[in-house]
């Protein structure tokens, strides 16, 4: 048989080691609130096990009652940490009720009607409630299969619940032999050792959840422009490669817009870089409001942006380009009045295939024409039949005049010609 003090000593060592890990995490990330709950949970578990150890030297069951209560509280704190991790209410009420009721019930079956089997059942139920609530939430998440931390936490939670149920049934039915205050029978000993291992794994799964989030945040930061909050060049190129591959497989075209802010250098020179940053942020907000959720706006250079439009044609691109050019006119007052946008529009074709650079070049050529012909407008790249055959000349369409509502409808000129227009005012 396995002595109960040995079990508690096992818990002290395990949870003290895990507590040191959380202390290290908190030292590096003091504002990471879930780590405080999880650190408190491991500390509470180690303290509870240490208090329960005193049962071997104190002729009173009080250390067992207090130690068991602290272990239940530790489980509840683990649940609260997970809820805070996912920005849910912490669950203080559940913690207070479960801890309080379990303490009273354990005391009753210790002092009033001494029954070790019922103590095991109460202890198991008290442990199972926060773990069951944790499992229910994790299983409700749509990303549970793609996030290793969520998957592991849910799996370990289910295993702990199964072991707790088996332990309760075994205690009530007397499976494995007699239960003694300071010694477990063989069945209970095996189940307790397994619970010790799973409890440690449950705590480690919280660490994995934290690592998953940290990794995802780092990946997100690597793909987002810090100043404007839109996608950066890396994300734009990744998405462009994906769209080229998808288009080559499905034959469904998509459109790219290359955007350059006119007058931006003058704003920086006259008003300072702070004003230039304000202009970039204002433009990004205004442009983003005019895009569908599946369109990607990216800042690819100092004052250069691009828009990737899945499942679209040059006509769709022209409509968005016009809307974005007009968006610049919404901003009033200095230095915003000095900013306008020139845009080049290019559509993926079978000739481009999976090479995104060719599409980028096409959009840049159209952008060059828009700027050359007065800025504050858009131009559309159209490959001529000879381009499709031998990469020869191209046709670039210039946006017609955009002076007010109803103006600027797309006109298709003859091959190798331009339609120009005065700027928007």
pLDDT > 70 fraction of the chain, expressed in percent and rounded: 86
What separation in angstroms does the CA of 54 have from each of 60, 65, 110?
Answer: 9, 11, 16
DSSP string, 188-236: HHHHHHHHHHHHHHHHHHHHHHHHHHHHHHHHHHHTB-TTTSSB-HHHH
Task: Specify the pLDDT at position 354.
Answer: 78
Write down the pLDDT at residue 326.
87
DSSP, residue by residue, 89-106:
---HHHHHHHHHHHHHHH
**Is pLDDT at 244 greater than 70 in this prediction?**
yes
Q: 391 Cβ partners below 8 Å, 6+ apart?
A: none
Distance CA 385, CA 325 (A): 30
CATH placement of domain 2-221:
1.20.1070
Residues of the chain with CATH 3.30.70.270: 233-398
User: What pLDDT was estimated at residue 11?
Assistant: 84
Tokens of 364: 């840049």
The residue with tokens 């008003």 is 271
Q: Taking residues 173-187, what's their average pLDDT? A: 79
What does the angle CA 220 – CA 281 – CA 328 come to, to the nearest 5 degrees? 130
pLDDT score for 418: 38
Instruction: Please give the distance of CA 108 from its chain centroid, rounded to a whole number.
Output: 46
Residue 414: the pLDDT is 33
* Angle, CA of 58, 64 and 67, to the nearest 5°: 115
Cα 387 to chain centroid distance, Å, stands at 44
Count of CB atoms within 10 A of residue 152's CB?
20
Dump pLDDT digits (tens) for 138-173: 999 988 877 888 999 999 999 999 999 999 999 999
| β-strand partners of 183 | 3
Task: Specify the pLDDT at position 415.
Answer: 32
Average pLDDT over residues 217-230: 84
Band (333; pLDDT cuts 50, 70, 90) = low
Would you tell me the crossing angle of helices 186-222 and 62-85 to the nearest 10 degrees? 30
Spatial distance between the Cα atoms of 322 and 324, rounded to a whole number of angstroms: 5
Per-residue pLDDT band for 216 (boundaries 50, 70, 90) equals confident
Residue of 279, 282, 307, 278 whose CA lies nearest to 293? 307
Higher pLDDT, 141 or 353: 141
Point out the least confidently predicted range of 142-146, 241-245, 354-358, 378-382: 142-146
Task: Write out pLDDT tens, residues 95-144.
Answer: 999 999 999 999 999 999 989 899 999 999 999 999 999 999 999 998 88
Q: What is the pLDDT of residues 387-420, one digit of tens each?
A: 433 333 334 445 544 433 333 333 333 333 333 3
Mean pLDDT along residues 207-212: 90
Q: What angle do CA 13, 147, 42 make, to 5 degrees?
A: 20
Mean pLDDT on 27-39: 92
pLDDT score of 94:
95
3-class secondary-structure state, position 125:
helix
385 pLDDT above the threshold of 70: no
Give 52-77 pLDDT, tens digit per residue. 888 778 888 899 899 999 999 999 99
Q: Per-residue pLDDT tens for 271-319?
A: 888 888 988 998 999 899 999 999 999 999 989 999 999 999 999 999 9
Q: State how far the Cα of 389 lies from the Cα of 57, in Å rounded to an integer.
A: 93
Residue with tokens 């599409």: 359
3-state secondary structure at position 111: helix
Residue 267: its pLDDT value, please? 84
The fold adopted by the segment(s) 233-398 is Alpha-Beta Plaits (3.30.70)
The pLDDT, as a whole number, for residue 331 is: 62
Tens-place pLDDT, residues 245-279: 999 888 899 999 999 999 888 888 888 888 889 88
The interaxial angle of helices 62-85 and 33-53, nearest 10 deg, is 170
**Inter-residue contact 188 to 171 (CB < 8 Å):** yes
Contact criterion met (CB below 8 Å) for 176 and 166: no
Q: Decide if 341 contacts 376 (C-beta within 8 A).
A: yes
How far is Cα 135 from Cα 187, in angstroms, rounded to an integer? 26
| pLDDT computed for residue 7 by the predictor | 75
CB 136 within 8 A of CB 100: no
Token look-up 């983003």 returns 288
pLDDT for res 64: 87
**Span(s) in the chain for CATH 1.20.1070:** 2-221
pLDDT of 329 > 60? The answer is yes
285-288 contacts, C-beta under 8 A, 24 or more apart: 286/327, 286/328, 286/330, 286/331, 287/259, 287/324, 287/327, 288/230
């Amino acid at each position: 048989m396995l002595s109960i003090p040995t079990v508690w000593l096992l818990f002290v060592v395990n949870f003290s080691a895990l507590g040191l890990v959380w202390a290290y995490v908190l030292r590096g990330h003091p504002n990471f609130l879930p780590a405080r709950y999880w650190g408190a949970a491991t500390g509470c578990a180690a303290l509870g096990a240490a208090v329960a150890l005193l049962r071997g030297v104190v002729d009173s069951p009080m250390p067992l009652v207090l130690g068991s209560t602290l272990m239940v509280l530790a489980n509840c704190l683990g649940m609260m940490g997970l809820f805070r991790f996912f920005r849910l209410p912490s669950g203080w009420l559940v913690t207070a009720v479960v801890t309080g009721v379990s303490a009273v019930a354990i005391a009753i079956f210790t002092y009033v009607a001494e029954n070790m089997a019922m103590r095991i059942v109460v202890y198991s139920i008290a442990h199972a409630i926060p773990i069951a609530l944790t499992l229910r939430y994790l299983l409700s998440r749509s990303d549970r299969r793609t996030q290793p931390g969520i998957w592991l936490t849910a799996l370990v939670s289910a295993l702990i619940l199964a072991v707790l149920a088996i332990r309760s049934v075994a205690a009530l039915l007397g499976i494995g032999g007699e239960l003694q205050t300071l010694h477990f029978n063989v069945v209970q000993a095996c189940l307790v050792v397994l619970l010790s291992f799973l409890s440690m794994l449950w705590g480690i799964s919280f660490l994995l959840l934290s690592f998953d989030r940290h990794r995802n945040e780092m990946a997100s930061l690597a793909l987002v422009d810090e100043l404007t909050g839109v996608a950066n060049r890396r994300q734009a190129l990744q998405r462009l490669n994906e769209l080229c591959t998808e288009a080559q497989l499905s034959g469904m075209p998509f459109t790219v817009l290359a955007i350059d802010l006119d007058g931006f250098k003058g704003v920086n020179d006259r008003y300072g870089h702070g004003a230039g940053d304000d202009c970039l942020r204002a433009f990004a907000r205004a442009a983003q409001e005019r895009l569908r959720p599946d369109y990607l706006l990216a800042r690819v250079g100092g004052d250069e942006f691009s828009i990737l439009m899945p499942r679209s044609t040059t006509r769709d691109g022209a409509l968005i380009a016009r809307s974005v050019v007009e968006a610049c006119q919404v901003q009033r007052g200095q230095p915003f009045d000095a900013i306008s946008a020139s845009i080049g529009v290019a559509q993926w074709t079978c000739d481009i295939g999976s090479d995104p650079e060719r599409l980028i070049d096409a959009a840049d050529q159209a952008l060059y024409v828009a700027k050359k012909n007065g800025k504050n407008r858009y131009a559309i790249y159209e490959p001529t039949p000879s381009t499709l055959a031998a990469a020869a000349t191209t046709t670039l369409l210039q946006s017609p005049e955009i002076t007010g509502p109803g103006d600027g409808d797309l006109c298709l000129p003859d091959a190798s010609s331009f339609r120009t227009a005065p700027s928007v005012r």
